[in-house]
């Protein structure tokens, strides 16, 4: 089999066979195929697409390109969740403990984020002492005893995705539905869970800006999961403003803890509760999704979700007292306020610019080796549709380095629109695909 023949076939909009797709993936991982040929194939896929069978074959070939995780030592049905990403999207730190408190086993493997803030690992590692570098055996033990553990993905897990994503990133082929679905689902399938709950974001803070694209990708991932014999549900949720109020690693942990403490509700809490309910339902803790919602609400109200979070923190070397005293988290040296220049309604938030402002403050990274400052970020004081008076605080900046402060101010002024226009914020959860 010659790789050039596969490029020509896809260039001419013909479907690749299962064997051809496996050859494509395996030859990339082995180094037999040059990057320029792999890039040509990705561009051909971007232009001509893949059918559902091809996409499923690509996903499974990527899953099988490295090690897969064996979670057979964990008792019960194992659930996982994945978000396609957004700003202030801290649902894992709320949904996973709530689901675990109901008896769902959550064995989560996460990555480190590129962009406005760190990934789930970076957020958790802002907790004093918390370690995500634990052995697989210890990982399983913690899931069995506490119901929940989070560790980093190994280099051996889905190496094809790292190779192909690096090429997609520099060749303008990231936003292809089949390539997006295969990238996400190959990692989720390799991680070994029985139940996968997907949170697919749409809006100006997501890479799936329009609802139809998000729906197409969500439906495709659910089909792939069914082909692989997994229980998969996808929620399509809004990202036309930051989901939570906190943007920054320790700040997001603080907000998650305050929600688990029952101190306040809001969009972040609502999405996290719905994700947790779907995990409990699909893990057969309840007979109906309505019963699962009632159970999750009860665990939130009684503090059982907070207890689950504290248990995981302790088992992974962190200080569990942080769930009662968030001042133990890293804090910035200075807090500054950005105030409204006029009165009116918050009629638009350009979410990606809010994320970029947090990145400039030091909350995220542009390269994997970049350091992340866990203490910095920002806190939204107003949301879409809120009334604001001139001089009232829009956003609170948590700062350690003033180097990029002028640019941060400019970005936030561009991001938040105050006008006389009355608006109806978009739905928080558009639909659920089963």
Q: Which of 82, 116, 201, 365 is catalytic?
A: 82
Show Cβ contacts of residue 427 under 8 Å, excluding neighbours closer than 6 positions.
238
289 token code pair: 């999704």
Active-site residue, 168 included: yes
Angle at 72 (CA atoms; ends 66, 74), nearest 5 degrees: 120
Question: Which whole-number Å values give the CA distances from 174 to 77, 157, 166, 208, 319, in the listed order?
Answer: 33, 20, 9, 11, 39
Show Cβ contacts of residue 174 under 8 Å, excluding neighbours closer than 6 positions.
165, 168, 180, 207
Q: Which of 83, 126, 183, 311 is catalytic?
A: 183
* CB burial of residue 369 (10 Å; 0-12, 13-18, 19+): exposed
Q: Which of 161, 194, 307, 373 is catalytic?
A: 161
- Asked if 329 and 122 touch (Cβ cutoff 8 Å), the reply is no
| Measured distance CA(122)–CA(371) in Å, rounded | 10
| Measured distance CA(284)–CA(302) in Å, rounded | 22
Active-site residue, 381 included: no
| Measured distance CA(109)–CA(27) in Å, rounded | 26
SS3 state of residue 348? strand
E strand or H helix at 144:
helix 136-146
Active-site residue, 187 included: yes
Question: Which whole-number Å values give the CA distances from 173 to 70, 176, 180, 182, 417, in the listed order?
Answer: 32, 6, 10, 13, 32
- The DSSP call for residue 84 is -
- Asked if 281 and 98 touch (Cβ cutoff 8 Å), the reply is no
Q: Which of 105, 108, 116, 187 is catalytic?
A: 187
| Measured distance CA(146)–CA(206) in Å, rounded | 33
| Measured distance CA(254)–CA(276) in Å, rounded | 19
Show Cβ contacts of residue 18 under 8 Å, excluding neighbours closer than 6 positions.
57
| Measured distance CA(292)–CA(73) in Å, rounded | 26
Q: Which of 168, 223, 282, 299 is catalytic?
A: 168
Q: Tell me the catalytic residues.
A: 82, 161, 168, 183, 187
């Amino acid at each position: 089999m010659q790789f050039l023949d596969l490029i020509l076939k896809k260039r001419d909009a013909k479907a690749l066979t299962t064997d051809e797709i496996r050859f494509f993936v395996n030859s990339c991982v082995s180094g037999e195929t040059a990057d320029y040929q792999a890039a040509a194939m990705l561009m051909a896929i971007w232009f001509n697409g893949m059918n559902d069978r091809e996409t499923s074959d690509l996903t499974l070939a990527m899953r099988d390109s490295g090690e897969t995780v064996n979670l057979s030592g964990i008792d019960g049905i194992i659930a996982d969740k994945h978000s396609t990403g957004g700003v202030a999207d801290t649902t894992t730190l709320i949904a996973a403990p709530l689901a675990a408190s109901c008896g769902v086993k959550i064995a989560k493997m996460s990555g480190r984020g590129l962009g406005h803030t760190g990934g789930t690992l970076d957020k958790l590692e802002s907790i004093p002492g918390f370690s995500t570098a634990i052995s697989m055996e210890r990982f399983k033990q913690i899931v069995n005893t506490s119901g929940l553990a989070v560790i980093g993905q190994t280099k051996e897990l889905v190496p094809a995705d790292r190779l192909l994503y690096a090429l997609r990133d520099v060749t303008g082929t990231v936003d292809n539905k089949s390539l997006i679905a295969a990238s996400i689902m190959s990692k989720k399938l390799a991680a070994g869970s029985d139940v996968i709950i997907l949170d697919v974001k749409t809006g100006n803070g997501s890479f799936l800006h329009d609802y139809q694209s998000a729906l197409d990708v969500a439906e495709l991932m659910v089909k792939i999961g069914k082909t692989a014999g997994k229980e998969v549900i996808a929620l399509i949720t809004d990202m036309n403003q930051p989901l939570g109020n906190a943007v920054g690693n320790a700040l997001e942990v603080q907000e998650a803890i305050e929600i688990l403490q029952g101190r306040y509700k809001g969009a972040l809490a609502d999405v996290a509760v719905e994700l947790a309910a779907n995990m409990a339902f699909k893990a057969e803790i309840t007979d109906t999704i309505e019963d699962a919602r009632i159970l999750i609400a009860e665990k939130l109200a009684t503090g059982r979700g907070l207890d689950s979070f504290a248990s995981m923190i302790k088992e992974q070397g962190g200080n569990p007292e942080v769930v009662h005293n968030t001042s133990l988290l890293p804090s910035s040296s200075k807090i500054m306020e950005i105030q409204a220049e006029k009165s009116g309604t918050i009629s638009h938030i350009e979410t990606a610019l809010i994320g970029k402002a947090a990145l400039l403050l030091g909350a995220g990274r542009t390269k994997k080796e970049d350091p992340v400052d866990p203490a910095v970020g920002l806190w939204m004081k107003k949301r879409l549709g809120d009334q604001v008076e001139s001089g009232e605080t829009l956003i609170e900046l948590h700062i350690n380095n003033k180097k990029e402060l002028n640019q941060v101010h400019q970005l936030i002024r561009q991001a938040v629109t105050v006008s006389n226009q009355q608006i109806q914020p978009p739905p928080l959860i558009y639909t659920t695909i089963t």
